[in-house]
Amino acid sequence: MKPAASGPVRIAPRVAIVSDAIFPYNKGGKEVRYHEIGRRLVASGVRVDVYSMHWWDDDAKSIEIDGVWFHALCKNHALYSGSRRSIRQALWFSLACLRLLGRRFDVIEADHMPYLPLFALRVVATLKRRQLVVTWHEVWGHRYWVEYLGFAGRIAAMLELFAMRLPNLIVADVQETADRLHACGVAPSRVVVVPIGVDAAAISAVPRGDRHFDVVCVGRLLEHKRVNVLIAALADQRARGNVLTCAVVGEGPECDALAWQVRELGIEDQVSFFGRVELHADVWALMKSSTVLALPSVREGFGIVVLEAIAAGASVVTSDHEDNQARSLVDDGITGVVCASEPIAFGESLARLVREPLAIMDVRDDVLKSFDWAAIIASLQDIYAKKSRVAA
């Protein structure tokens, strides 16, 4: 589009995306988001370089996938130490981010977690006179950090507050995250809300899976995901005469404990563990052959699986917890149920939706229109272009 003669010239910047975990090697919400953003920005004419750890098997320091260039800043360090994110990995990746001093880019787009790399990226952005845009998925705050780490959580909470001051602009996935950032002292002018998108057309094109399940659960098997609550809910419903089948998709530190719980409760015939499913289309196929998506998590920054489930025609049961931002994506009674993350309430909600399925397909298009990738990419292009102009 030809710009007005008196206005600033819009440019197609060279964007450096920085994240220690990338798709398809990791398949969480933030990894899927950067995957979609990267390839769609490239299709619109933007040069995209993703800087991460060396996830791929090839010895090459850089590889190209779908027009997006991926560069290894350091070797692959384990993201987790037990069930928690590794501080050692965060330190190594932070130091590696200083290598961006020798790279070309117009704007940095970085993930907020872990916080430590943001300090290195602030140094890089300042010395290279470039702008730092950070996508903030969730605000943990002092209370949650102390619950998570004990006394050390006090230090982590202060680190979170300091990290919020580093970006030139913060992109929040949902309004509630933006509100929490404001409450922490971040000026409203430095925060913009841009949601995660969903490719409804691609999900619609995928055929149903061969096996039907009453319930499907998708996500990394971490403690805060509360998959143990789901399993206990299935056992409680069985005791009440409702035998619900369930597919659990994902891997993580809680996998063995969850398998043991299933055996102890005697519901092996109900629960199928699929582990890591490589193809996104296969996950969508499972969603399409299931009636309900279960998300008992008490901490979600966004919850893209909720939108994917709705696009697949499945209703959603998720937890009514203040740190679960995914609950804002569920219209109670229309696209699912929001309830307490405890076995009895969760199980009753699952059983009710399996017994009386919601008419998801009747409302799907209206629900998903706010999460159209084309509009989201246009918003991000405008953000990156403006930030590049400021730095010029």
The strand pairing partners of 213, in sequence order, are 290
pLDDT of residue 388: 58
pLDDT of residue 101: 97
- What are 221-242's pLDDT values in tens digits? 999 999 999 999 999 999 999 9
- 129 and 165 share one domain: yes
pLDDT higher than threshold 90 for residue 359: yes
Range of the domain at 337: 200-370
Q: Does 3 reside within a domain?
A: no
Any idea how long the chain is? 392
199 and 36 in contact (C-beta within 8 Å)?
A: yes
Q: Does 357 reside within a domain?
A: yes
pLDDT of residue 215: 98
Q: Does 8 reside within a domain?
A: no
- 113 and 242 share one domain: no
Q: Does 2 reside within a domain?
A: no
Put simply, whether the predicted model's pTM sits higher than 0.95 gets the answer no
- 363 and 380 share one domain: no
- 243 and 168 share one domain: no
- 179 and 277 share one domain: no
pLDDT of residue 391: 47
- What are 25-38's pLDDT values in tens digits? 988 888 989 999 99
- 95 and 128 share one domain: yes
- What are 305-317's pLDDT values in tens digits? 999 999 999 999 9
Tokens standing for residue 134: 């950070």
Give 213's pLDDT tier (boundaries 50, 70, 90).
very high
pLDDT of residue 387: 61
Q: Does 4 reside within a domain?
A: no
pLDDT higher than threshold 80 for residue 9: no
Gap between the Cα atoms of 373 and 383, Å rounded: 15
- 166 and 282 share one domain: no
Kindly report the backbone phi and psi dihedral angles of residue 294, in degrees, each rounded to the nearest multiple of 5, phi listed first. -100, 125
Q: Spell out the residues 6+ positions from residue 40 whose beta carbon is closer than 8 angstroms to its own.
A: 373, 377
Q: Does 277 reside within a domain?
A: yes
- 121 and 249 share one domain: no
Q: Does 130 reside within a domain?
A: yes
The winner for highest mean pLDDT among 80-84, 141-145, 250-254 is: 250-254
Q: How many structural domains comprise the chain?
A: 2
- 165 and 68 share one domain: yes
pLDDT of residue 142: 86
pLDDT over 90, % of the chain: 77
Give 360's pLDDT tier (boundaries 50, 70, 90).
very high
pLDDT of residue 335: 96
Give 12's pLDDT tier (boundaries 50, 70, 90).
low
pLDDT higher than threshold 50 for residue 3: no
Give 354's pLDDT tier (boundaries 50, 70, 90).
very high
- What are 47-105's pLDDT values in tens digits? 999 999 999 998 999 999 989 999 999 999 998 887 778 889 999 999 999 999 999 99
More confident residue, 389 or 236: 236
pLDDT of residue 84: 78
pLDDT of residue 10: 45
- 167 and 47 share one domain: yes
**Of 6-15, 153-162, 167-176, which gets the smallest average pLDDT?**
6-15
CATH number, position 73 = 3.40.50.2000
Q: Mean pLDDT for the chain?
A: 91
66 and 58 in contact (C-beta within 8 Å)?
A: no
- 187 and 279 share one domain: no
pLDDT of residue 46: 92
pLDDT of residue 320: 94
pLDDT of residue 132: 97
- 260 and 183 share one domain: no
Q: Does 6 reside within a domain?
A: no
- In the numeric block, the tokens 């981010």 are attached to 97
DSSP code per residue over 46-98: -EEEEEEE--SSSS-SEEEETTEEEEEEE----SEETTEE-HHHHHHHHHHHG
Q: Spell out the residues 6+ positions from residue 324 whose beta carbon is closer than 8 angstroms to its own.
A: 295, 297, 298, 299, 300, 303, 318, 341
